Amino acid sequence: MAIDLEALYFDLHEHPELSFAEHRTAAIVAERMTDLGLEVFAGIAGTGVAAVLRNGDGPTVLLRADMDGLPVGEETGLPYASEARGVDPMGRDVPVMHACGHDVHMTCLVGAVERLVDERSQWRGTLIAVFQPSEERDGGAQAMVEDGLYDKVPTPDVVLGQHVSGFPAGTVVVHSGPAMAAVNAITAKLFGQGGHGSRPETAIDPVVMAAAAVMRLQTVVSREVSPKQTAVVSVGAIHAGTKSNIIPAEATLEISLRAFDPDVRAKLLASVERIIRAESEASAAPRPPEFTYGEDYPVTFNDPDATERTAAALRSALGDAHVGDPGQITGSEDVGILASAVGAPLVYWFLGGFAPELFTGPLGTIEPTLPANHSPLFAPLPQPTIDTGVTALTAAAREWLGAPGGA
């Protein structure tokens, strides 16, 4: 019996789990892979799942989907909207949502594996399906590699994957070369001296310190990076205090940096630390700030030759009018680590997920009025998004797998 992919998608969307806590999710995809006859390796890096289908001599193709949700409260109003909650790394109870489409990615990969199993008489080689934990935090791809992923599954000849985003449903877009930015996550803890809100002269206020740092950080891109180069500095979270009349002793900033050029990346890191240290000193902080580093993902680089070959297969499967080029995207991914760890080429594309009539620009242009990934309103259309994603993954895999009777 064919897998009901829409039902699977609704279930995954309604029950998201945070990074490295994808226990229910991992059990579901492992069960689907087992039912399809693949050899399943579960528990890689805690919750990661890899499944292998050996179908004679030929190339080895790895298809990847990520599994984790985000600490976002869903506001879509969908009948299958998430009401899930989880505990974040700081011990806080938070809402959880598939606000970046990882539920779409998993559903499409399950569907592609099912189709490739059904079509196994038409190809030869080895198929690997990887369901990766923690793309959103702390690097699940690297964790799977370090936990022996490639001791369990064969070395792939190519790594393929896709990400749903703000493009028309029924289309895909892919960019050759540096496709997505490198990212660094920094947590900066600033130290003050707590006191009563009515007597600020007896305290050193880390909230003011943090506010000054946030504003000064806006000058890094506008005044320290050339307009010809791409860079992003975003402060995504500020944590400080418990009550309006208490000056706290500490404040914490969570910062995300993006760049394509290694020199720009190094400049961002140095500038952020310099500014936060300077604001701390200017405020007469009792001790210098502390920096903790999180995600450290490289540029997502699509191998040009492999991209040309894969894009041709996508155009053949979907039609020329349904395959475009988005240019460079300042979002970031760790999928490239699965490829670079074994010296394999990577091809990673974007899958459209929104009503085509909402778009006015050429294919590859993101419509700014639509809810972006990580928004509480992010809601890809189930169809034709799922069918297109299954077709794209299947066509790309078939392009690299061998033909019956040959390599």
**Looking at the annotation, which residues are catalytic?**
68, 135
Asked if 272 contacts 186 with a C-beta cutoff of 8 angstroms, the reply is: yes
Determine the number of helices (DSSP H) and then strands (DSSP E) in the chain.
Answer: 10, 18
> 163 among the known binding-site residues?
yes
Asked if 257 contacts 265 with a C-beta cutoff of 8 angstroms, the reply is: yes
> 136 among the known binding-site residues?
yes
CA distances from residue 403 to 51, 119, 277, 347, 366 in whole angstroms, order as listed: 21, 11, 60, 21, 37
Q: For 336-363, b where at least 16 C-beta lie within 10 A, e where not — what string?
A: bbbbbbbebbbbbbbbbbbeeeebeeeb
> 100 among the known binding-site residues?
yes
> 22 among the known binding-site residues?
no
Cα(111)–Cα(391) distance, integer angstroms:
9
Closest CA to 164 of 394, 345, 399, 386: 386
DSSP string, 228-264: TS-EEEEEEEEEE-SSTTEE-SEEEEEEEEEESSHHH
In this structure, the dihedral spanned by the alpha carbons of residues 304, 310, 315 and 318, taken in order and rounded to 10 degrees, is -140
CA distances from residue 140 to 237, 259, 310, 351 in whole angstroms, order as listed: 22, 21, 25, 22
Binding residues: 100, 102, 136, 163
Which residues are known binding-site members for Mn(2+)?
Answer: 100, 102, 136, 163
